[in-house]
Amino acid sequence: VIASDTAAAAPLLRRHRYRLLTFDLDETLWPCMPVIEAAEAQLYHWLQRVAPRLTATHTTTTLRQQRQQLAQQQPDIAHDVTALRHRSLTQLLQQFGYPTTLADEAQQRFQRARNRVEPFADVIPVLHQLRHHHTLIALTNGNAEVAQTPLADYFDHAFTAAAVGAAKPAPNLFHAAITQAGVTAATTLHIGDDPALDCDAARQIGIDAVWVNRRGHEWPNTLPPPRHTITELHALAAWLS
């Protein structure tokens, strides 16, 4: 009887040990592609007005290819998607004889649209619940600004790859969160949708991770299985409570 009591109590203790919860953003808390596509479409529409020679040659697809090429040529900014967009457009504006200051306005327009995210239905109720018991920090490789989204009130802090100098799977984002919250890896739980960039990257530095598998993907057999898998966040709240 004692043995089974102990066995039952152990996982419960483990669940309660997390003081800091770190969350990935894109595809974990909101669908990413619709937002990016809408932002790129809006930006392109604006470019058609202010830089028609550029859009006569380029589509949103070739603009993306330009950025990918630039990321390979300039790995120093590859982790900074905002800098990459800005530098790529600056080069193109120059090339087509337009003032490069247009890149600043383009960036602002893109960023406003990029922050117009629509969280999955489970996100706000669960964050509302979790914030009473945990420090919540957002960690993203992308350039959404949490403070400008509908989730502004739920996070204690947010870090981007651009701000910390390296994208996941590098440990920089995780370390930034741990330092900010004043906790250890052992009392931190990361929640994200990407097996490698979120779950395995966290595990590498001793942080437990929950895999958010909203779209029924297969876990890659090249990676050790995740600590925990959920399809929506209510299951996380239930597991932690």
* Alpha carbons 10 and 1: distance in angstroms, whole number: 14
Segment 137 to 196, residues that bind Mg ion, using CB under 5 A: 193
Question: By the 8 A CB rule, do 96 and 117 touch?
Answer: no
- How many positions of this chain bind Mg ion (CB under 5 A)? 4
- CA atoms within 13 A of residue 18's CA, in its CB half-sphere: 29
State residue 21 phi and psi, 5-degree precision.
-110, 125
200 binds Mg ion (CB under 5 A): no
State which residue, 55 or 82, has the beta carbon closest to Mg ion: 82
CB of 211 to Mg ion, least distance (A): 11
Angle 225-131-205 from CA coordinates, rounded to 5°: 35
State which residue, 98 or 194, has the beta carbon closest to Mg ion: 194
CB of 58 to Mg ion, least distance (A): 28
State which residue, 113 or 199, has the beta carbon closest to Mg ion: 199
State residue 191 phi and psi, 5-degree precision.
-125, 120
State which residue, 24 or 122, has the beta carbon closest to Mg ion: 24
Question: Per the structure block, which two tokens stand in for 96?
Answer: 């087509």
- Of the candidate residues 21, 22, 24, 161, the single one contacting Mg ion (CB under 5 A): 24
Residue 87 host element (H or E): helix 81-95
- Of the candidate residues 23, 26, 200, 237, the single one contacting Mg ion (CB under 5 A): 26
CB of 27 to Mg ion, least distance (A): 4
Distance of CA 195 to the CA centre of its chain: 13
122 binds Mg ion (CB under 5 A): no
What's the first-to-final CA gap in the chain, in angstroms?
A: 25
27 binds Mg ion (CB under 5 A): yes
State which residue, 122 or 193, has the beta carbon closest to Mg ion: 193
* Alpha carbons 55 and 235: distance in angstroms, whole number: 46
Segment 82 to 121, residues that bind Mg ion, using CB under 5 A: none
Q: Which residues bind Mg ion (CB under 5 A)?
A: 24, 26-27, 193
